[in-house]
Every structure is written in C-alpha cells, then in structure tokens.
Amino acid sequence: MEDFILIGERDVLVIHDDRMLAHKPDAEEPFQPGKLDSRVQAILGGLFEAAVIKWSYPEHPGRLLAITDLLTREPVPGVRYETARAATEEELGRVHTTSYIENIYALRGKQAWLDVDTTAVSPGSVDAAEVAAGSAIAAVEAVVGGRAGSAFALCRPPGHHANSVRARGFCLFNNVAVAAAHAQAALGCERVLIVDWDVHHGNGTQSIFWASPDVMFFDTHRAPPFYPGTGSKEEVGEGLGEGLTVNVPLPAGCGDPALIKVYREILVPAVEWFKPDVILVSAGFDMHQLDLCMNLSYNGFGALTGIVQELADKHCDGRLVMVLEGGYHLESLARGVRTVLEVLAGGEPPEIEEPGLREVAELVAFHSTAFKGSVA
C-alpha cells in the first residue's frame, strides 16, 4: 500500500504569465454579426440563448483572473508559480505550417476576425498566443526535466481546436500539441499521451497527430453534432497512427459516475498498453455542471485527476502536465482548477457517489421504524 499523502507533499508548478491577459478580442468588431451569433451559440451550447444578454467574446482575460484570484484567496499548499516564455517559430513549426504561423504573426498589433468560427485577435493576441504555447512548453520541460512533480499551464487563448493550418473555436496555436511535439523533439520522450477532457472535441489535436505512431490522443466530449462536430468513436487515426486516436463521444448530461467509468475502463487499459513517457491533459472545465451541458462536479474533476495521476505514477515517474483549455463559467472554472491542483499536490482523490445517496440512506434509517404494522 502507498503511504498516506497530504496536500502539499507533492510538488506542483503552475505556469502563469500576465502577458496572456493582453488577448482581448473586441466583440464589437463587425464580422457577419448575425452568422457569428449563431456560431457562438453552437459552440457554447446555448449559453447566451437568452438574447437579452449582450454577447461579448466569451474567452476573455477574466477567465485567468478568476483562477489566480481564487488561488490567491485560497492557496493550495505545495503549489509554486513561475512565468512563461514565448514559444519560438521553430517550436510552433513542429505542429503548424510555416505559412500559417506567418499569417498569425502578420496580425501582431492588429484587431481582426480570423474566421466565422468566433476566433478573433486584438493587438496583444499574437504575443499572448506565443506565451500560451510557451507556457505549455515550460510546464512539460519542468516535469520531464525533474524540476517539478507535476505542472499546470494556465494558458489562454486555448489551443485544442487549432489544427496545423487553421485557427478555430477561440484557439490560435495548439498549445498541448506544441508541448507534446517539444517533449519528443527536445526532451527525449518517445511516446506521449494526450488526454482531452474539455467538453468539446479536440479536433485540432486529433488532426495534428492523426497518423502519428507515437502520440496517443484520448478524448471525452459531448457527441457530435455538438461543436466542433467531430469525435465519433469510429475516428481512430490512420496509417501508422491507426488505433492511437481514441474518441469517447458522450450524451449531454453525463456526470461523475459515467466519466469515471470511461476513464477507469477505457483509458486505463489503453495506457497500460501504450506506456507513455509523459501524460499531457487538455484540461477544460466546461464539463462542469455550472457550465454548458454536462454534469461533472468538482469531485468529478478531482477523481479524473486522481486516475491520470495514478497512471502517470505507474508508467512515467509521475510526469503529468495539465494545459488549460475551455471553461466559461468563471466560478466553476476557478474552483475546478483549484480542485485539480489539490489532487496534484497530494490530496486524496475524492470518492464519487450519486449526489444525495448517503443522505437518503440516513433518512431511510431515520424513518424506517415509523411505519411498522399498519395504521388500522
């Protein structure tokens, strides 16, 4: 048996850099506004359906501020902070084409919409996107280099919808893919596992590693046609990568027990077989019950973290890196991140049970002696 570990006994590095706050697209910028509204509603599952709420770019700097604000008010023992560096063109070029990178660089200092898929930039966005990818690189360097037990890159703009040639779904550079490629090209890792538990399918990451023989991509998400419309279970990769893309499309409303079952019964055997050298998690928090359409609780995120941490401990010396993706409800985003950090720092992964069952069992016991025999 393992010794009992307390929060703070595992060392966790959080990568956070204020330069990522400079990405603040202006939703007022005209761009097929009617079409845009419907696209955004498709992505956010009707979050803004009540049209009385004025639409603003949902992937905004307040997301990071909500997280750092909570972590300042309620620090997690064992968590250290470092700033990031900007990813270089060479590092980005491992997963994006040169022409795509040049096109993004050309937008530096400008304000623009990139496409109808709600992806826009403000004057500070390109710098922010380079630092976001650099954060994921810094996190994987720290963990693989042994400077940190595990790491969490608090990055934005997010990355998992961006493929090698296209910005999509609030994403410019694919941060987790850049980190995975860096682990292989610069840090000596052979096999990399990417787990994506954002509620949206990580179509960009899937596309980048579709035929890769040494990157396994495991994604749980709301089933298509939910945005981005990909991620059916038949999508398994191709060529040398066949079998290394694992999609688990789920119905709306799934909660802790369903997700835990998926991770224990599909991810665990896949990882036993694949034996990665490092595990990266595209950690979105939009599966939380306060966010779009799923029913995960904070305990659910804690339990999923416990499962991937156990896999990392068993197969790759605990090398585990979280890379922030989505999560648009500020409270559940911040508290979700904090819950994950608690488990990374050594906190016991929570036991999952159907909400209320324990209380109901006590109530059943309380009332059990009241109605013996019959009233007449």
Shorter beta-carbon distance to Zn ion: residue 184 or 295:
295
Residue 66 CB, shortest distance to Zn ion, in Å, is 16
Q: In angstroms, what is the minimal distance from the CB of 252 to Zn ion?
A: 14
46 Cβ partners below 8 Å, 6+ apart? Answer: none
Distance of alpha carbon 285 from alpha carbon 227, whole angstroms:
16
Residues in the interface with Zn ion (CB under 5 A) total: 5
> Which residue's CB is nearer to Zn ion, number 200 or number 338?
200
CB-wise, 235 or 286, nearer to Zn ion? 286
Residue 131 tokens, joined: 């630092």
Q: Is 237 in the site for Zn ion (CB under 5 A)?
A: no
Looking at the Cβ atoms of 10 and 288, the one nearer to Zn ion is 288
CB of 96 to Zn ion, least distance (A): 20
Nearest residue (beta carbon) to Zn ion: 326
Q: How far is CA 363 from CA 353, 354, 368, 371, in A?
A: 17, 15, 8, 14
CA distance 352 to 359: 14
Mask for 188-207, x = binds Zn ion (CB under 5 A): ----------x-x-------
Binding positions for Zn ion, 280-309, rule CB under 5 A: 284, 286
If the CB atoms of residues 241 and 284 are measured against Zn ion, the closer one turns out to be 284
Q: How far is the CB of 182 from Zn ion (least distance, A)?
A: 23
Of the pair 168, 315, the CB lying nearest Zn ion is at 168
Q: Which is nearer to Zn ion, 124 or 159 (CB)?
A: 159
Site for Zn ion in 128-157 (CB under 5 A): none
Query: Residue 327 Cβ, how far from Zn ion at the closest point, in Å?
Result: 7
Residue choice 124, 134, 241, 326 for contact with Zn ion (CB under 5 A): 326
Instruction: Supply the minimum distance, in Å, between the C-beta of residue 13 and Zn ion.
Output: 24
Q: Cβ 130 to Zn ion, closest distance in Å?
A: 22
Helix (H), strand (E), coil (C) string for the chain: CCCCCCCCCCCEEEECCHHHHHCCCCCCCCCCHHHHHHHHHHHCCCCCCCCCCCCCCCCCCHHHHHHHHHHHHCCCCCEEEECCCCCCHHHHCCCCCHHHHHHHHCCCCCCEECCCCCCEECCCHHHHHHHHHHHHHHHHHHHHCCCCCEEEECCCCCCCCCCCCCCECCECCCHHHHHHHHHHHHCCCCCEEEEECCCCCCHHHHHHCCCCCCEEEEEEEECCCCCCCCCCCCCCCCHHHCCCEEEEEECCCCEHHHHHHHHHHHHHHHHHHHCCCEEEEEECCCCECCCCCCEECHHHHHHHHHHHHHHHHHHCCCCEEEEECCCCCHHHHHHHHHHHHHHHCCCCCCCCCCCCHHHHHHHHHHHCCCCCCCCC
- Residues acting as catalytic residues: 161
> Residues in the site for Zn ion, rule: CB under 5 A?
198, 200, 284, 286, 326
